[in-house]
Chains A and B, each alone.
Chain A
Amino acid sequence: MEKLKLLGTYTSPFNRRVMWALKLKGVPFEYIEEDLFTNKSELLLKSNPVYKKIPVLIHNGKPISESTVILEYIEETWPENPLLPVDPHERAIARFWIKFMEDKDKAKKDCLEVLRTIEEHGLKEDKKFFGGTNIGLTDLVFGLLAYQWELMEEIVGVKLMEVHSFPRLHTWAENFKSVSVIKENLPDRDRLFARLKGRKEVLVGSSKSH
Chain B
Amino acid sequence: MADEVTLLNTWPSPFGIRVRIALAEKGIKYEHKEENLQDKSPLLLKMNPVHKKIPVLIHNGKPICESLVIVQYIDEVWKETSPLLPSDPHLRAQGRFWADFLDNKVLDCVRKILLTKDEKEAGKELIECLKLLEGELGEKPYFGGEKFGYVDLSFIPFYSLFYSFETFGNISIESECPKLIAWAKRCLQKESVSESVADPEKVYHFWEQRKKKLGLE
Contact = CB atoms under 8 A, between A and B. Distances in A.
Contacts of B89: 73, 76-77
A88 B59 CA distance: 11
A141 B77 CA distance: 25
Contact of B100 (A66, A91, A100, A121): A66
Interface string A43-73: 0000000100000000100101110111011
Interface stretch (B8-16, B62-70, B175-183): B62-70
B26 to A, nearest CB: 13
B100 A92 contact: no
Contact of B92 (A65, A73, A89, A100): A73
Contacts of A64: 90, 93, 97
Contacts of A62: 90
Interface string B66-102: 1011101100110000000000011011001100110
Nearest to B132: A50
Contact of B90 (A68, A73, A100, A117): A73
Contacts of A95: 66, 69, 72
A22 B59 CA distance: 33
Contacts of B59: 89
B215 interface: no
A72 B96 CA distance: 9
**Interface range for B:** 20 to 34
A70 B68 CA distance: 16
A92 B64 contact: yes
Interface of A is mostly: helix
Interface string A75-108: 0110000000000110110011001100000000
Contacts, number: 58
A92 B93 contact: no
Contacts of A91: 72-73, 76
A176 B23 CA distance: 37
B170 to A, nearest CB: 26
Nearest to B75: A88
B214 interface: no
A76 B65 CA distance: 22
Contact of A100 (B50, B72, B97): B50
Given A77-B89, A100-B50, 6 more contacts: A69-B93, A72-B96, A89-B64, A92-B69, A96-B69, A121-B49
Interface of B: 49-50, 59, 62, 64-66, 68-70, 72-73, 76-77, 89-90, 92-93, 96-97, 100-101, 132
21 contacts: A64-B90, A64-B93, A64-B97, A66-B96, A66-B100, A69-B100, A70-B93, A72-B92, A72-B96, A73-B89, A73-B90, A88-B76, A89-B59, A89-B73, A91-B76, A95-B66, A95-B69, A96-B69, A100-B50, A121-B49, A121-B50
Interface of A: 50, 59, 62, 64-66, 68-70, 72-73, 76-77, 88-89, 91-92, 95-96, 99-100, 117, 121
The 6 closest A-B pairs by CB, nearest first: A76-B89, A73-B93, A88-B76, A92-B73, A95-B69, A69-B96
